[in-house]
Structure 1
Amino acid sequence: MSNVLPRAAALAAAALLATTGALVGATQSSALPMAPTCRVADLELAVGGPQRAGGAIDYPILFTNTTGHNCALRGYPGVSVTDARHRQIGTSAIRTGEPISTVLVAPDETVTAVMRTNSRSVAPNCRPKSTYVKVYPPNSGVAEEISYALRVCGMFEISPVEAAD
């Protein structure tokens, strides 16, 4: 009889895992609830102030959930710079290669992805200054253009979306 209870618990745990894909014993912070993917209409997009790091300049792209429900972002946004006529200037930002994770975005919460380029002193061959930064949220075929004057010099990279610090 003493073996029955542990065996029943093991069978119940296996059934839970098989039907839900949940990890038995997973903590609340590591198990994200199901949430729809954030759409452009769900988000307010902005470019934060530049942060200098050696010969590079980082510009955070801010994704703020404007809905009354949770939504999720996973992966890299698509990012390019455009002129006043909405024509792309140069190539799109390349991915940094950092690992991705699913980020749950609660109502009114902001998460970020970081654009990086070089300072003019490091890479003097610069593109013309942009009028807009065009951003496709991860897994979205719809972009938003953010009014922002950005000069890309040398590298142009984008990180995956991650929770704000």
Structure 2
Amino acid sequence: MALHSSHLTRRGIAVSVTTVLAAAGVTWGVTTAAQAQQASSGTRTCTVNDLYLSMGRKEGAAGSLYWPVRFTNTSTTGCALRGYPGVSVLDSAHRQIGPAATHSGSSYSTVALAPAHSASAVVRTTNGPVGGPCLRTGSYLRVYPPASTKAVLVPAGWKTCSGVFQVGPVNTDGTF
């Protein structure tokens, strides 16, 4: 799991076993959904090593708090994201606080990211204890980009309230 912060390099050092095996020419004979998408679209799926994750600006509206998680392509080639990221809140000791975010239910499409371009997925909770208590404030969001089994820790002071913790799909419109 990589940690993204302004104090660290923009790209993680960790290399997944799958990447090492693929570089060595080892194949498993199994096609994943991400590989099938890549083959049909001609654009490869973004990996954690291609992306720098950061938080956008928090906004409140109609009793909700919205905060975009930004995915920036730091590689030298284009790649694509499709769907919802996995998101959970962690404390300073990297223990999960409460359940992971549920999907907003919004429709989505494939987002092609040229080098140095970004897309976002917006997380949402209530703006305070409306119909239920708030959990303690976390220090990080653990984010699995769509189609990834590798997560990134993004420094973020997030507090889930009223049992509402949702994430929207990755998009370039900034919508939930």
Q: Distance in 2 between matches of 1:84 and 1:123?
A: 27
- Please give the alpha-carbon distance, in whole angstroms, between the structure 2 residues aligned to 1:121 and 1:135: 24
Aligned match for 2:118, one of 110, 119, 124: 110
Matching residue's letter, 2:94: H
Whichever residue aligns with residue 76 of structure 1, its letter is Y
Hey, what's the Cα distance between the residues in 1 that align with 2:134 and 2:170?
26
Alpha-carbon separation, structure 1, partners of 2:154 and 2:41: 30
The code of the aligned residue for 2:170 comes to: V
Deviation digits for residues 92-135 of structure 1 (CA, Å, limit 9, x no counterpart): 00001111211001110010100000011535500110010110
Give the equivalent residue in structure 2 for 1:64.
Answer: 72
On the 8 A contact 1:55/1:121 being kept in 2, the answer is no
TM-score normalized by the length of structure 2: 0.73
Gaps of 5+ in 2: 1-39
Q: Does 1:161 align with 2:170?
A: yes
Deviations 1:126-161 (A, max 9, x none): 011001011000000000001111111121000000
8 Å CA contact 1:110–1:164 kept in 2: the answer is no
Misfit runs of 4+, over 4 Å: none
Matched, 1:127 2:162: no
Task: Report the counterpart of residue 99 of structure 2 in structure 1.
Answer: 91
Alignment match of 1:143 (pick from 146, 151, 160): 151
Gaps of 5+ in 1: 1-31
Q: In structure 2, what is the equivalent of residue 11 of structure 1?
A: none
Which deviates more, 83-92 or 122-131? 122-131
Greater Rg, structure 1 or structure 2?
A: 1
Query: Counterpart in 2 of 1:15?
Result: none
Aligned to 1:29: none
Conservation of the 8 A alpha-carbon contact between 1:112 and 1:163: yes
Taking a change above 3 Å as real, the CA distance of residues 123 and 145 of structure 1, as seen in their structure-2 partners, is farther
| 2: CA distance, partners of 1:70 / 1:90 | 35
Identity of aligned residues (%): 41
Shift of 1:164: 4.0
- The alignment covers a number of residue pairs equal to 134
Paired with 2:120 and 2:131, the residues of 1 have a C-alpha distance of 25
TM-score, normalising length: structure 1: 0.77
State whether residues 127 and 151 of structure 1, in contact with CA within 8 Å, keep that contact through their aligned partners in structure 2: yes
Distance 1:164 1:110, change over 3 A: farther
Q: 1:12-23 maps to which residues of 2 (within 5 A)?
A: none
